[in-house]
Structure 1
Amino acid sequence: MADTKGKVQTVLGPLDPSQMGVTMMHEHLHLDFNVAFIPPGGKDRGKEDCDFVLENAGWIRQNPYHHLSNINFCDGAVNESITGELTTYAANGGGTIVELTNYGIDRNAALLAQYSSATGVNIVCGTGYYVYPSQKEADRSLTVEEMTARAVQDVAEGCPEAPHVKAGVIGEVGSNWPIHAFERRAIEAAALAQQATGAPVNFHPGRHEQAPAEVIRLFQEAGGDASRCIMSHLDRTIETAAGLAEFGQLGTFLEFDLFGIEVSHYMMAPHVDMPSDAQRIRRIKDLVDAGFDDKIVISHDIHTKHRLTRFGGHGFSHILDNVVPMMKTRGFSEETINKILVGNPQQAITFQR
């Protein structure tokens, strides 16, 4: 394995972290998300195939996982859109995107390298295993050792679908609540692969307030370094300032990555009130005031068509265009904003050995 210490491993090769610039820490540029499909019922029965037109945009925005075309984030329409989306992101000041598609949701490392070459945006590619229901039947019985070996190969040697591209992060390692046995093995494998490579790790926790801490417990028991991992989706998982501060004591990077979702109904967990961007900012401000300003990272987690600008969405520049001005009016200093967008991602995604 080439010397990665002090470097960020992108799809085009090692990068000095000072060259990352503004970084979105959790995005998708190509994935098969059919595992998320929820068949509509009642008066909406049959709308899963409705045309992606303006008249249906409100329904799709409210019910994104009812619509088959919306969750098909790996077709020609998406591929045609991404280069333009990334070009706009770069023009608005974006430098790097951490792309967390991995095993179970159809990573395409070769395509990520093409996007990076075409747009100049640095892209970091993921590895490891997403949630159990997304996995191919042949992979569901994988052992910890087999999962570890695959992740280590992706980081150290290259991805099987694109041997010239090396993964730069183990993630997003997915789990549900309760955590499935397969997912427990994936968490343990992430710890072992981190030990072998020094790579950072990103976790997708189950939709329960206890899930993030339980993931970290399993990860640490397997030898993982919590300070070298990022916990995703905290904006839909831990709803109180006290709960976030308590979890923050475990030492992970704290990721708020659903910026741009302004619909309170959360189809994946109807009991959860999806926060607005204003509420996300308020929760982040509470963490900053509690001393966690050097652990916070943010992103959009774009993974459905309706959030791309071509389909009427906010695109990858939403945080830069709309959220940063909101942060300034709500008392964030330039120094803190720069930490969240630039400094903290550098710390989180750089190989430490």
Structure 2
Amino acid sequence: MKGKIQTVCGWIDPASLGKTLTHEHLVADFSCYWSEPSWHAPHLDNVSFTMDPENLGFIKQYPYNFLENLNFHGEENHMVEELNFFRQNGGSSIVECTTLGISRDVGKLKKISMATGVNVVCGTGYYTANTHPSNMDSLTQEQLVSTMVNDITRGADGTDVRCGVIGEIGCSWPITDNERKVLQAAAIAQSETGCPVIIHPGTHTDSPAEIIRILQEAGGDVGATVMSHLDCTFFETEDVLEFASLGSYLEWDFFGVEVSHCQWADIDMPNDAMRIKMIRQVLEEGHADKVVISHDVDTKHRLMHYGGHGYSHILLNVVPMMLNRGISQEDINKILVENPKQWLVFK
């Protein structure tokens, strides 16, 4: 396995990875984020998901109040359309971070990859505590390691489709006992297989550093680990730079989200211009070899079919903005090609 990247269709040479989105979802169910509406809009009473023009503004503002908006199963044809468009615009690979607990289906991922020619790297492990299996308390660390290693070396979900990344491993703030157990198991599975890791941290400035400490103590490879969702974790450049010194990859992955209201945390979400500004500052401080970006599409309304930005937004819109804001083409190539390649290679 060493020196190769594992996709749902098998091993590939790192040189063939190309432009890569490091954190996306193609087949998943995020109903764990559903909540009762906190607003009153009589014309939307009892509506689960309709994309009529009069509803679209509410769905963009409150995406997690619409249950059907949170389920990608049944959208496979639209995903093929999306990824064909992504490939036409220079995209080559996607890391699909759906784990156990949010309705992973590696068989569907393989079909989508084969239909489009886009490399798909799928994940193993467990998401946040509210999605854990009912018997998680009784599962041992050794059992969790065995599940992850099996997904990587033999095949996931009863198939021969093997996972090429551990994660996204879900952590809350404060981290729960079972999330800590999963995180430690992920570190052990990484040390046994050489597989890269990607983390979903809690929405607190201290969460990423705590996770890194737990990973290191359990024998994980921080240098082969991506810390996701920095858009909603760090809001001051000094905090990002302090965390960057710990050595993980730094991921801004909500590109395309331009609504400041966040339904699942008491934070103000940045827009794309603010993300680019912070990334430029991090690059200027010498961390170009550790930055990756993505969209983390987890709702239907963000798909092009439903009027959203889709998976090509970074290539079509963000890259020109980055160039216009003084980020060099060399650094963009690192962010989209070289850094994902270095991270995804089995060690």
| CA deviation after TM superposition for structure 1 residue 72, in Å | 1.7
Q: What's the CA shift string for 1:69-107, capped at 9, x where partnerless?
A: 111222x2x222100000000000000000000111111
State how 1:330-349 maps to structure 2 within 5 Å.
330-349=325-344
Structure 2: gaps (5+ residues): none
State how 1:201-212 maps to structure 2 within 5 Å.
201-212=197-208
> Which residue is equivalent to 1:261?
257
The question of whether the paired residues in 1 share the 8 Å contact of 2:76 and 2:112 is answered with: no
TM-score scaled by length of structure 2? 0.97
2:30 matches 1:33: yes
Match of 1:195 among 191, 194, 205: 191
Q: What's the CA shift string for 1:196-237, capped at 9, x where partnerless?
A: 100000000001010000111111111111101000000110
Instruction: Give, in whole Å, the separation in 2 of the partners of 1:319 and 1:230.
Output: 19
Instruction: Give, in whole Å, the separation in 1 of the partners of 2:318 and 2:65.
Output: 28
The question of whether the paired residues in 2 share the 8 Å contact of 1:141 and 1:182 is answered with: no
Q: What's the CA shift string for 1:251-287, capped at 9, x where partnerless?
A: 0000000000000001111x21100000000000010
Letter in 2 for 1:143: T
Instruction: Give, in whole Å, the separation in 1 of the partners of 2:112 and 2:251.
Output: 24
* CA spacing shift, 1:282–1:197, aligned 2, 3 Å: same
Match of 2:269 among 274, 282, 287: 274
Q: Which runs of 4+ in 1 moved over 4 A?
A: none
| CA deviation after TM superposition for structure 1 residue 329, in Å | 0.4
| CA deviation after TM superposition for structure 1 residue 161, in Å | 3.3
Q: % of aligned pairs identical?
A: 49
Letter in 1 for 2:214: L
> Which residue is equivalent to 1:138?
135
The question of whether the paired residues in 2 share the 8 Å contact of 1:40 and 1:47 is answered with: no
> Which residue is equivalent to 1:64?
63
Structure 1: gaps (5+ residues): none
State how 1:138-177 maps to structure 2 within 5 Å.
138-162=135-159, 164-177=160-173
Structural RMSD (CA): 1.1
Letter in 2 for 1:152: V
| CA deviation after TM superposition for structure 1 residue 50, in Å | 4.9
Match of 1:312 among 307, 310, 315: 307
The question of whether the paired residues in 1 share the 8 Å contact of 2:49 and 2:69 is answered with: no
2:76 matches 1:79: yes
Letter in 2 for 1:338: N
The question of whether the paired residues in 2 share the 8 Å contact of 1:109 and 1:161 is answered with: no
The question of whether the paired residues in 1 share the 8 Å contact of 2:228 and 2:252 is answered with: yes
| SS of equivalent residue, structure 1 residue 96 | strand
Letter in 2 for 1:181: D
Instruction: Give, in whole Å, the separation in 2 of the partners of 1:123 and 1:48.
Output: 34
| CA deviation after TM superposition for structure 1 residue 44, in Å | 4.4
Instruction: Give, in whole Å, the separation in 1 of the partners of 2:320 and 2:38.
Output: 40
> Which residue is equivalent to 2:282?
287
Instruction: Give, in whole Å, the separation in 2 of the partners of 1:140 and 1:64.
Output: 32
Letter in 2 for 1:341: L
Instruction: Give, in whole Å, the separation in 2 of the partners of 1:257 and 1:22.
Output: 15
> Which residue is equivalent to 2:346?
351
The question of whether the paired residues in 2 share the 8 Å contact of 1:307 and 1:315 is answered with: yes
| SS of equivalent residue, structure 2 residue 2 | coil
Instruction: Give, in whole Å, the separation in 1 of the partners of 2:137 and 2:325.
Output: 46
| CA deviation after TM superposition for structure 1 residue 141, in Å | 3.2
Q: What's the CA shift string for 1:273-323, capped at 9, x where partnerless?
A: 100000000000010001000000000000100000001100000000000
State how 1:206-221 maps to structure 2 within 5 Å.
206-221=202-217
| SS of equivalent residue, structure 2 residue 121 | strand
Match of 1:106 among 103, 106, 110: 103
Instruction: Give, in whole Å, the separation in 1 of the partners of 2:248 and 2:39.
Output: 42
The question of whether the paired residues in 2 share the 8 Å contact of 1:40 and 1:48 is answered with: no
The question of whether the paired residues in 1 share the 8 Å contact of 2:126 and 2:168 is answered with: yes
Instruction: Give, in whole Å, the separation in 2 of the partners of 1:193 and 1:5.
Output: 15
Q: What's the CA shift string for 1:331-352, capped at 9, x where partnerless?
A: 0111011000000000111111
| CA deviation after TM superposition for structure 1 residue 134, in Å | 1.0
Q: What's the CA shift string for 1:139-190, capped at 9, x where partnerless?
A: 453221111110000001111332x211000000001100011100010000
| SS of equivalent residue, structure 1 residue 203 | strand
Instruction: Give, in whole Å, the separation in 2 of the partners of 1:122 and 1:103.
Output: 21
Instruction: Give, in whole Å, the separation in 2 of the partners of 1:63 and 1:141.
Output: 36
